[in-house]
Chains A and B, each alone.
Chain A
Amino acid sequence: MPGLSKLTIRPAYSMWPKYNRRLRDVVAGMTAEQLAIQPSPERWPLWATVGHTCCQRVFWLCDFAGEPGAETTPFTDAGNNCPGDDDLEHVLSADELVGALDSTFRIVEGCLDQWSLDMLDEEIRRDDYGPDWVHTRGSVLQRVFSHDVWHCAELNETLKNAGLPQIDLWD
């Protein structure tokens, strides 16, 4: 039997798949008009926030940390072309966003099943990005997880104000 440090990290993030499902379920039920709602005129529409959340999974886990699978997602150039950050022109539909949530979460699942506690302290360097691009594998994963949750909360504020169903992470 492996020691704790050799076990995969899935138990530490056991609720993440549920959070992703809850986000996916809400997005799946939204109309194009609802996805176009902006919290304020200068802030991204909801479709862009969801797309950005998915795209950042790919950027950090694939582009930065080297996980495979970016080509299985809509975000094959996540460092330069993410919804919201780089692109507010190509509006994403609910179906496209659900597909993006599914395909990008498969990359997360790969990390949860293949990364061990030992691996979380490993430093990953991307000198081609710049001298400051040094992060531990653990900090990358925590960043992606907290980023997902952070944007779920942001989405919920707008959904609540619009009288729409919210993403219930806690039930």
Chain B
Amino acid sequence: MTTATIRPAYDMWPQYNRRMCEVIREMSSEQLAVRPSPELWRLFSHDAYHCGELSQTLGLHGLPQIDLWRPD
């Protein structure tokens, strides 16, 4: 029996979450109102999905997108 967990399968999730927070923190209430308030906090894929959805809208409005993959 081992005590290993599945964290290595998802260990980038905190970074993705930080990136999403960084972008949202910089947005004004007007910018956040471009789309209904994002529902961001459920599953890994759900998070990534909404990052993509947000980024599409951000890009269309000339705002910085959420770059989940940029090197630190």
In the complex, what residues of A have CB within 8 A of residue B52's CB? 149-154
Report if B28 contacts A (CB, 8 A).
no
Measured CB to CB, the closest approach of chain B to A113, in angstroms, equals 14
Report if B33 contacts A (CB, 8 A).
no
Q: How large is the interface on B (under 10, 10 to 19, 20 to 34, 35 or more residues)?
A: 20 to 34
Contact code string A137-160 (vs B, CB < 8 Å = 1, else 0): 011011101110111111011100
In the complex, what residues of A have CB within 8 A of residue B9's CB? 9, 12-13, 117, 120, 138, 141-142
Measured CB to CB, the closest approach of chain A to B72, in angstroms, equals 10
In the complex, what residues of A have CB within 8 A of residue B48's CB? 145-147, 149-150, 153
Report if A43 contacts B (CB, 8 A).
yes
Contact B53 A153 (CB under 8 A): yes
| Contacts beyond the supplied A3-B1, A3-B4, A4-B6: 15 A-B pairs with Cβ under 8 Å | A4-B5, A9-B9, A40-B60, A120-B11, A136-B11, A138-B11, A146-B45, A146-B68, A146-B69, A149-B45, A149-B52, A150-B68, A153-B51, A153-B56, A154-B56
